[in-house]
Structure 1
Amino acid sequence: MIKKIKNAFKIIRKHGKEILSWVFKIGVTLLFAFVFVFYFGRQISVAGNSMKPVADNGDTVLINKIVYNAFRPKRGDVIAFRPKGNDNSHYYVRRVIGLPGETIELIEGEIYINEVKLEESYQTKDIAEVGRLKEPLTLADDEYFVLGDNRENNDDSRSANVGNVKRGYMYGKAWLCIDTNKRFHLIRRD
């Protein structure tokens, strides 16, 4: 037994630097993996068909939590948030349409921002229900106006239950969708 212990110490002395190098590399890799998953791999399950065709009911969306610490949300970003910051609510996934300080209007089913028609390159459904957009709506300095892409079947900023989304209520930016058949695609702004 003592011989085995002595042999083990000899091996450790002979290969100590190499062993420590491997332990360090494994530790750094595990730390990197943890940080990556924590900030870029948070999962949210999509409830409802508000973002169809980008994401359907039951799809899983991966969220980048760190991007909005460095950058402001942009028009067209798909975000996850809790309405009115309600921690008891599930996360909503919607697209940013209006930015702080802008005035949003709905004229004959079309969205206007600061009196200019919004040109959208992503697929959406027409707006039939105007909700809070019966009159022009001006956003405060920290508020965003969000809509789902499936605008017929939607709870979004037009609804008083959701309202304007404050930046502090945003969980992060959606960047990857994994559908119920385990296929995935990147979520893009355009």
Structure 2
Amino acid sequence: MAEKQRSEILETLSTVMWAIGIALVLRTFLFQPFHIPSGSMLPGLMKGDYIITSKYSVGYGRFAAAPIPFPVKEGRFLERGPKRGDVVVFRPEGISDNYIKRLIGLPGDEVQMIDGKVYINGVAVEQTAEPATPFRYFDTSNIERNINVHKNVETQANGKSYVVFDSVSNNRLDNTPVIRVPEGHYFMLGDNRDGSNDSRVKVRNGGAGLVPSTNIIGKAEIVLLSVDNDFALFKPWTWFNMRGNRFFKRIK
């Protein structure tokens, strides 16, 4: 009887270990989920979104298997450079948190903000303005706010289009010097341009800085689901507080 119990325990442990191993492989080489904690990527991504990123679409850098170090010190294994306009998850240099922003500047580009518009190599990125509309959101302090925002449809030269927010006139980040993107780095912007500390802000000042290629984790593909601000994992009565229009929503 004892031998049978021992055999069953070993079989169960083996099954669990196999399951963990398969999950780690999938997470490292194929897909990884992330949670959106802020409104820096409004309107496309909202606080409370749970997203899925693909790893194989951009290759594997040193944080591909975090917290386990991936054996890459520079560059990326099987690198497939992300494209301008892609939404990517990454870690700023020297920071342990994951960020999500939109890739705007490629290695060798010169990027500048002038009056809230993006210029790449001296050429303005095409924008189509829409009228100001009210928008309700929760800020980083979980305070509900209502703001009037201008929505601008931004279109890159490669045809990639997405919507960005402009909520504050003459914001401190609406005008920047020319920033040259060095080789092996990328320039990132949040879609909520007045509420994002991104590559316009150096890491030591609380921003993302210029992001090394090896620090990119994955490309954001879909919103799996989205929860309201009062959702709490350990409060079962809040489990149905989800946004019904955001299940399996493709990230543009």
TM-score (norm 1): 0.73
Specify the alignment match of 2:162 in structure 1.
Answer: 122
Specify the alignment match of 1:185 in structure 2.
Answer: 249
* Match among 150, 156, 159 for residue 192 of structure 2: 150
The residue correspondences of 1:57-96 to structure 2 (distance < 5 A) are 57-69=47-59, 70-87=79-96, 89=97, 91-96=98-103
What value does the CA root-mean-square deviation take over the aligned residues? 2.4
Structure 2: segments with no counterpart, 5+ residues: 1-20, 60-78, 127-153, 155-160, 228-241
The alpha carbon displacement at 1:53 in A equals: 1.7
The alpha carbon displacement at 1:65 in A equals: 1.4
> Quick check: which one's strand share is greater?
2
Q: Would you say the 8 A contact 2:36–2:51 is kept in 1?
A: yes
* Match among 214, 217, 221 for residue 168 of structure 1: 214
Identity %: 34
Q: 1:132 to 1:160 in 2, by over 3 A?
A: farther
SS in 2 for 1:146: strand
Q: 1:35 to 1:164 in 2, by over 3 A?
A: same
> Quick check: which one's helix share is greater?
1
Structure 1: segments with no counterpart, 5+ residues: 1-30
Specify the alignment match of 2:146 in structure 1.
Answer: none
2:202 maps to amino acid: A
Runs of 4+ in 1 over 2 A off after TM superposition: 31-41, 126-134
The alpha carbon displacement at 1:34 in A equals: 7.0
Q: 1:167 to 1:85 in 2, by over 3 A?
A: farther
Specify the alignment match of 1:16 in structure 2.
Answer: none
TM-score (norm 2): 0.56
Structure 1 or 2, whichever has the larger Rg, is 1
1:72 maps to amino acid: G
Q: Would you say the 8 A contact 2:84–2:106 is kept in 1?
A: yes
Q: Give the aligned length.
A: 157
1:68 maps to amino acid: V
Q: 1:93 to 1:73 in 2, by over 3 A?
A: same
